[in-house]
Amino acid sequence: MDIIDTAAEIEELQRNAALSAHRIDRNAVSAEHCEDCGEGIPELRRAAVPGCQTCAECQRIIELKGKQKR
């Protein structure tokens, strides 16, 4: 096995790991109220993001803070 084969194998493993991390569990139960602000989470969000625990605005803030830490 040469270096190109090894690199291709590593890339495939990394891609598969990333895809697995982003798969959505369609059976996950979403919260009816945001765990951060307490506001109701709209049915459309709960259907679109199974297992969500925050409203869209609070999730946006969480993600912005996560980007700032990087």
pTM, 2 dp: 0.61
Model confidence band, residue 61 (pLDDT cutoffs 50, 70, 90): very high
The Cβ-side half-sphere exposure at 49, using a 13 Å CA radius, reads: 12
Three-state secondary-structure class, residue 33 = strand
pLDDT at 31 over 90: yes
Cβ proximity of 22 and 49 under 8 Å: no
